[in-house]
Structure 1
Amino acid sequence: MPDSTHGGAAVQVPNSSATTVPVSAALANACDSHLHIYDPRFTAIAPIVADATVEEYRCVQALIGTSRAVVVQPRAYWTDNSCTLDAIQRLGPASTRGIAVVRPDATDEALHVLHAGGIRGIRFSLYTDMHAVVGFDMVEPLANRIAEFGWHLQLHWTADQIVGHRDLLARLRAPLVFDHLARMPLPGGTAHPAFAVVSDLLDRGKAWLKLSGAYLDSLVGAARHYDDMDPVAKAWVGAAPERLVWGSDWPHPTEAWHKPDDALLYDLLAQWAGSQEIRRKILVDNPALLYGFEAA
């Protein structure tokens, strides 16, 4: 667990290879719109990431200077959202929101409890069938049910899956949020047909996109700061800067052997955004609108 310095104080950074603080300045009310909390106090159906509790995540906030957060339900807890709800309360309900995982058998009462607890969307992580909790057949029925809450559907899908379900995505009543740069595969990147599908949804105000997880599709890796993903990220910024949010994806559950540098991931946004005005939109203004935080 490396040490970094933030404001002159030593900061422990679990599940991160950060050794220095970000170059980019912290912004008031900046939001990390994608993180996971794993807490051994709650029963999981799969192995959980160690050292990824609320207390450990506060070290990440101290490192990068974010004060708002969106906790995304991990697959390990299936549809038991207790850990995520607990994290929202412990991080502070005024500054934290959550994304749950539910199935069509969820009762109306259960959905109301989730909303009261700070949940503002549900996730469909279908990028891989491994430990899949939900299915494509559940997307539209659940979209219809959550519309009354003003929630959105958060989608972690492959680019091919996005193209294959373009008609479904176009008719859904609930807003969409695409995870991790919409998983544009390299070397094609924005040449993939999914880029046009997502761009159209962004243009029509039906979708948002997370500038997160650059390491997931990079072919060059950390040694080159994932720079082969720069054209994809900059293309999204150019297409719809008002529909983007940023997330750390801490504790980086897909990266078992080498954890990314969270200071570097934070600094990548400044490089992609190109201006302080757009960076502020992505870190502060856009998440305030999407997740219902008090306006800055």
Structure 2
Amino acid sequence: MKSVPPPHPHPSKPAYALPPGSCDAHVHVYGPVARFPYAADRAYDPPEAPIERLQALHHLLGVERAVIVQATVHGTDNRAMLDAIARAPDRYRGVALVARDVSAGELRQLHAQGVRGVRYNFMPHLGKSADPDEVRAVAERIAPLGWHVQVHVTAAHLPAIRGFLESLPVPFVIDHMGRPMVEDGLEQPALAALLDVLRHGRAWVKISGPERISARLSAQAQPYADAAPFVRRILDAAPDRTVWGTDWPHPNVREIPDDGKLVELLPRYTDDAAVLQRVLVENPARLYWYD
């Protein structure tokens, strides 16, 4: 089984000060395994990354709210994620992994515990891609709760599932910008496909994972700055339906980033402070704290 490295051991304090109420809208927690065992069929084997370590990071970064996305290593056992939310239920929300036959009662219970969405994988390296019939069935059950569907998919694959996503009765959120690789340029079909999908009024995107798409990685004077023009295109397309996240503890990346440096990229993404205020504070409030 593939092992992944731990998060950055000494993240830096960013020079950029996040605005009050800022939300890290994409993080995971792993374990502790003694309480929350990993799923036997997991695709990778990470070191523990418990909520206490995430809280210390967010204190350093100036993050006040967070969305904890259920890690695939825990499968549909959402207990680690729910335990993390319970530490600060007003400041944390969650995105769950659920079984195909999840009941309306189970979903209402998850809602009461802070969950506001379900996540589906369309990335073959993490296992079998989601069944559209299952996604639709669950989407119909979560619609009365005001939840969304979060999809882990590459922008290059979006045209194949665009019609399906747009037919869902709930908003859908695209992880990690859809991973349009910087080396393929700003005019690449994958980025064009993402920007086209973002014209749909229920399409959202997370501007997380610049270390996933950067051509030069941390060799740059400011790490991953070559991803900034791609984020600018995204913000031009959907400034009111974009949220930001660190993706801590950074599973399956080419190198582990310094989260302080990820925060320092934010002013490179737009020259408009009001847009950053929307991305960091107002948009996540609408998507995750609507009730």
TM-score calculated relative to the size of structure 1: 0.87
What is the match of residue 3 of structure 2?
A: none
Pick from 14, 20, 30 the counterpart of residue 22 of structure 1: 14
Equivalent AA in structure 1 for residue 81 of structure 2:
T
Q: Kindly report which structure 2 residues correspond to 1:104-115, keeping only aligned pairs within 5 A, or say none.
A: 104-115=100-111
Q: Equivalent residue of 1:203, what SS? A: coil
Match of 1:84 in 2: 81
Aligned to 1:242: 240
- Counterpart in 1 of 2:264? 267
The aligned counterpart of 1:33 is 25
Distance in 1 (CA, whole Å) between partners of 2:288 and 2:114 is 9
Per the TM alignment, residue 51 of structure 1 is displaced from its structure 2 partner at its CA by 4.3
Match of residue 38, structure 2, among 44, 49, 54: 44
1:285 counterpart residue number:
282
1:230–1:272 Cα contact (<8 Å) kept: yes
Give the C-alpha shift of residue 199 in structure 1.
3.1
Q: Distance in 1 between matches of 2:116 and 2:49?
A: 22
SS of structure 1 residue aligned to 2:151: strand
Q: From the superposition, tell whether residues 197 and 233 of structure 1 become closer, same or farther in structure 2 (CA, over 3 Å).
A: same
Q: Distance in 1 between matches of 2:29 and 2:54?
A: 8
Contact kept? 1:36, 1:250, Cα under 8 Å: yes
Q: Identify the residue that residue 71 of structure 2 maps to in structure 1.
A: 74
Residue type matched to 2:153 in 1? W
Show the counterpart of 2:90: 94
AA aligned opposite 1:74: A
The one-letter code of the counterpart of 1:67 is E
Instruction: Give the match for residue 4 of structure 1.
Output: none
Structure 1: how far apart are the matches of 2:18 and 2:125?
A: 38
Task: Determine the structure 2 residue equivalent to 1:229.
Answer: 227
Deviates more, 1:237-246 or 1:73-82: 237-246
Question: In structure 2, what is the equivalent of residue 183 of structure 1?
Answer: 179
**CA-CA distance at 1:160 after TM superposition:** 2.5
What is the CA–CA distance in structure 2 between the aligned matches of 1:158 and 1:201, rounded to whole Å?
12
Q: Provide Cα deviations, 1:156-201, integer angstroms capped at 9, x if missing partner.
A: 1012321111211221111011110122134335434444444344
What code does the residue aligned with 2:60 have?
Answer: L
- CA distance in 2 between counterparts of 1:142 and 1:194 reads 28
* 2:50 is aligned with 1:58: no
Once the two structures are superposed, residues 125-157 of structure 1 have per-residue CA deviations (whole angstroms, 9 ceiling, x without a partner) of: 222243348434422222222111110011110
Q: Is the 8 A contact 2:12 2:258 kept in 1?
A: no
Gapped runs of 5+ residues in structure 2? 1-5
In structure 2, the residue corresponding to 1:66 is in which secondary structure?
Answer: coil
Q: What letter matches 1:271 in structure 2?
A: R
Q: Deviations over 1:200-226 (max 9, x none)?
A: 443332111111001112221111212
Inter-partner Cα distance in structure 1 for 2:11 and 2:120: 34
In the alignment, is residue 251 of structure 1 matched against residue 245 of structure 2? no
Deviates more, 1:104-113 or 1:128-137: 128-137
**Unaligned regions of 5+ residues in structure 1, if any?**
1-13
Q: Which amino acid aligns with 1:173?
A: P
Q: In the alignment, residue 20 of structure 2 is paired with which amino acid?
A: A
Q: Aligned runs of 1:152-231 on 2, under 5 Å?
A: 152-224=148-220, 225-231=223-229
CA RMSD of aligned residues (A): 2.0
Are the aligned partners of 1:103 and 1:134 in contact in 2 as well (CA < 8 Å)?
no
Percent sequence identity is 37
Structure 2: distance between partners of 1:144 and 1:239: 28
Taking a change above 3 Å as real, the CA distance of residues 136 and 188 of structure 1, as seen in their structure-2 partners, is farther
Q: Is the 8 A contact 1:16 1:261 kept in 2?
A: yes
SS in 2 for 1:208: strand
Q: Who is 1:276 aligned against?
A: 273
Q: Which residue of 2 aligns with 1:6?
A: none
